[in-house]
């Protein structure tokens, strides 16, 4: 079998992303009813363990092709399997596929499937399901891909019960990373209310703004990975202090993404794992909102922000300073020439504002998701720092669903604070700033940047591909596209007696890894 090597994460362990936005299409649920899988048993096996996990954000869609919020992906990833998955080292490993071949012209991918996998409804996973899933993602019938990244697919067909052929319109060196997308049962159209996958956990119930309940899939095709945990309750707790009190009282077993200050309240009673997130946190500037369309204004804002103060105050030093939309964790593709490009210099920032025609500053609104203290605390510090050059910031805290709709979908904002979900392929990180991309909420537009990342995706030689991505990073930084602040570390807190969880390079909490020792 051919092993797929990714070059993104040499000599590092990078981890799950906790509260950010992804780049897939999204849908925000307004339904206040409870969705329940009537076929799933509500009873827990005798002597088996129920685990309760605190999550900051509500599910934005149970349909994996409509979800965009990282917390949603973290929870629902346990329900679905793709042809391949990501291990803790950032490498693609087989799931529903056993092997693959690429044609000499790099346009045709042939996948061989496992023959013992079943969906949660008992149906076998076959090539027909892959054809259905990939055709839907690529919009082959509707003409509208569900994600811009799937528009490269020209055709998908079955060449046998367990063999699939995917033909691309042009070379896409990041296509294999897309094969981690969920495979869905052919013709099943109720994923948004009663999701069915082939993963290690089955959907049981979703109570809007309260919890998501999953149960162990005893028929999981990878027998050595059948979860030890019988049932999982993802409990929505947007307030960190509420989650801490719940863990102290025994109501919660795991808190992902707990900050260092909060962890001090739990240190004597929990086990932790920590590491970098590969999640660029940015002060996003909407280029269609004046005066942010002026590059001198954006440069002035960059010079007026002391990133070290933010890191030391908000993260207690547990973060890496960044200067482009790329974490140093993506070692092979990282351009270190961007480091320190904009030194903290209030005097120079004032001079640039005067050059731009704003000697007395201006008013700026900042729309910030209220569910994460990392964002709200960062916003307060930036507002204070920008006041030193005359920019008066009006902070508008909004609920996560409102942020997704207004900022991420409608681009109706001036500035924002957000962490951008890590991806395993650099193209999926940098496409966020490509002109015409449906999730380019910054409204960034530079043809040279677009050319660099498009050249990269069609390049199959790794060093040349890396050179294009480094060029793109430098262009972003030179244009002061936004303020790229930090890649924060993350910590998962677990009650005593739980072990086995690993840190992954993307939004992931693999619960089949979890072991109960007491």
Q: Is 30's pLDDT higher than 60?
A: no
- CATH 3.40.190.10 segments of the chain: 34-255+496-516
Helix axis angle for 447-457 and 462-478, nearest 10°, is 160
- Cβ 279 vs Cβ 285: under 8 Å: no
Instruction: Give the predicted TM-score (pTM) of the model.
Output: 0.80
C-alpha–C-alpha distance, residues 130 and 255, integer Å: 34
- Which residues contact residue 245 at a Cβ distance below 8 angstroms, ignoring those fewer than 6 apart? none
C-alpha–C-alpha distance, residues 84 and 179, integer Å: 6
- Rounded to the nearest 5 percent, the helix, strand and coil shares of the chain are 25, 25, 50
Q: What is the mean pLDDT of residues 149-165?
A: 97
Q: What is the mean pLDDT of residues 152-160?
A: 98
- Which residues contact residue 455 at a Cβ distance below 8 angstroms, ignoring those fewer than 6 apart? 468
- Nearest CA to 36 out of 54, 75, 57, 62 is that of 62
Q: What is the mean pLDDT of residues 127-156?
A: 96
Q: Provide the percentage of residues in the chain whose pLDDT is more than 90.
A: 74
Give the pLDDT of residue 22: 38
260/286: higher pLDDT = 286
CA dihedral 343, 348, 350, 353 (to 10 degrees): -90
Helices (H), 282-332: 295-304, 307-314
Local structure of residue 182 (DSSP, 8 states): P
pLDDT per position as a tens digit, 80-125: 999 999 888 778 999 999 999 999 999 999 999 999 999 999 999 9
C-alpha–C-alpha distance, residues 495 and 53, integer Å: 11
Question: What sign does the dihedral 270-273-279-283 (CA atoms) show?
Answer: positive
Out of 3.40.50.720, 3.10.105.10, 3.20.20.450, 3.40.50.300, the CATH code matching 281-489 is 3.10.105.10
- Which residues contact residue 284 at a Cβ distance below 8 angstroms, ignoring those fewer than 6 apart? 407, 415, 416, 417, 418, 441, 442, 482
Per-position b or e across 392-423, b if 16+ CB within 10 A of its CB: ebebbebebbebbbbbbbebebbbbbbbbbbb
Give the pLDDT of residue 517: 86
Beta strands 201-207 and 34-36: pairing type? Answer: antiparallel
Question: How far from 93 is each of 85, 89, 390, CA to CA, in Å?
Answer: 5, 10, 52
Per-position b or e across 432-461, b if 16+ CB within 10 A of its CB: bbbeebebbbbbbbbeebbebbbbbbebee
- H or E element: which one contains 285? strand 281-285
- Cβ 49 vs Cβ 33: under 8 Å: no
Q: What is the mean pLDDT of residues 185-203?
A: 97
Q: What is the mean pLDDT of residues 149-169?
A: 98
C-alpha–C-alpha distance, residues 83 and 180, integer Å: 6
pLDDT per position as a tens digit, 317-330: 989 999 999 888 77
C-alpha–C-alpha distance, residues 455 and 355, integer Å: 35
pLDDT per position as a tens digit, 420-441: 988 888 998 999 999 999 999 9
Q: What is the mean pLDDT of residues 347-366?
A: 97
Q: Is 18's pLDDT higher than 60?
A: no
Return the CATH number of the domain spanning residue range 34-255+496-516: 3.40.190.10
Radius of gyration of the chain (CA): 23
pLDDT per position as a tens digit, 233-274: 999 998 889 999 999 999 999 999 888 778 888 877 899 998
Q: Is 382's pLDDT higher than 70?
A: yes
Give the pLDDT of residue 342: 96
C-alpha–C-alpha distance, residues 505 and 8, integer Å: 9
Per-position b or e across 90-128, b if 16+ CB within 10 A of its CB: bbbebbbbeebeeeeeebebbbbbbeebebbeebbbbbb
DSSP-derived 3-state class of residue 322: coil
- CATH 3.10.105.10 segments of the chain: 281-489
Backbone angles phi, psi at 397, to 5 degrees: -70, 135
């Amino acid at each position: 079998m051919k092993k797929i090597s990714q070059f993104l994460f040499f000599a590092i362990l990078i981890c799950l992303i906790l509260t950010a936005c992804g780049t897939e299409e999204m849908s925000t649920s307004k339904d206040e009813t409870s969705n329940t899988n009537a076929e799933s048993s509500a009873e827990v096996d005798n002597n088996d363990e129920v685990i309760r996990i605190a999550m900051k954000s509500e599910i934005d869609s149970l349909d994996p092709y409509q979800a965009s919020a990282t917390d949603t992906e973290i929870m629902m990833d346990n329900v679905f399997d793709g042809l391949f998955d990501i291990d803790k080292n950032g490498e693609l490993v087989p799931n529903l596929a056993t092997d693959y071949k690429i044609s000499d012209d790099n346009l045709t991918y042939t996948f061989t499937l496992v023959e013992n996998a079943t969906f949660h409804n008992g149906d076998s996973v076959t090539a027909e399901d892959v054809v259905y899933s990939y055709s839907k993602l690529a919009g082959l019938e509707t003409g509208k891909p569900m994600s811009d990244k799937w528009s490269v697919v020209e055709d998908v067909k079955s060449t046998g019960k367990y063999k699939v052929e995917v033909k691309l319109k042009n070379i896409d060196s990041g296509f294999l990373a897309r094969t981690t997308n969920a495979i869905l049962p052919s013709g099943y159209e109720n994923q948004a209310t009663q999701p069915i996958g082939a993963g290690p956990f089955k959907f049981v119930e979703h109570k809007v703004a309260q919890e998501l309940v999953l149960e162990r899939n005893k028929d999981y095709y990878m027998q050595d990975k059948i979860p030890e945990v019988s049932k999982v309750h993802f409990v929505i707790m947007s307030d960190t202090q509420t989650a801490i009190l719940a863990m102290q009282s025994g109501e919660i077993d795991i808190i992902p993404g707990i900050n260092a200050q909060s962890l001090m309240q739990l240190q004597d009673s929990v086990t932790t794992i920590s590491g970098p997130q590969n999640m660029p946190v940015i002060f996003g500037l909407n280029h269609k909102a004046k005066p942010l369309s002026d590059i001198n204004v954006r440069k002035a804002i960059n010079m007026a922000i002391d990133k070290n103060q933010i890191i030391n105050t908000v993260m207690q030093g547990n973060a890496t300073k960044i200067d482009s939309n790329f974490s140093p964790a993506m070692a092979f593709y990282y351009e270190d020439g961007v480091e320190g490009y904009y030194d903290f210099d209030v005097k120079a920032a004032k001079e640039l504002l005067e050059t731009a025609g704003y000697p007395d500053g201006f008013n700026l609104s900042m729309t910030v998701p209220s569910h994460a203290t990392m964002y709200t605390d960062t916003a307060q510090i930036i507002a204070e720092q920008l006041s030193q050059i005359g920019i008066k910031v009006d902070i508008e805290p909004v609920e996560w669903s409102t942020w997704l709709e207004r900022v991420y979908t409608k681009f109706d904002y001036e500035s924002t604070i957000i962490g951008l979900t890590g991806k395993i392929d650099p193209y999926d990180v940098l496409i966020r700033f490509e002109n015409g991309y449906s999730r380019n909420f910054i409204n960034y537009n530079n043809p040279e940047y677009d050319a660099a990342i498009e050249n990269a995706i069609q390049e199959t030689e790794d060093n040349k591909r890396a050179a294009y991505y480094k060029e793109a990073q430098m262009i972003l930084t030179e244009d002061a596209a936004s303020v790229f602040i930090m890649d924060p570390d993350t910590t998962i807190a677990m009650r005593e007696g739980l072990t086995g969880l690993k840190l992954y390079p993307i939004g992931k909490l693999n619960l089949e890894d979890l072991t109960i020792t007491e």
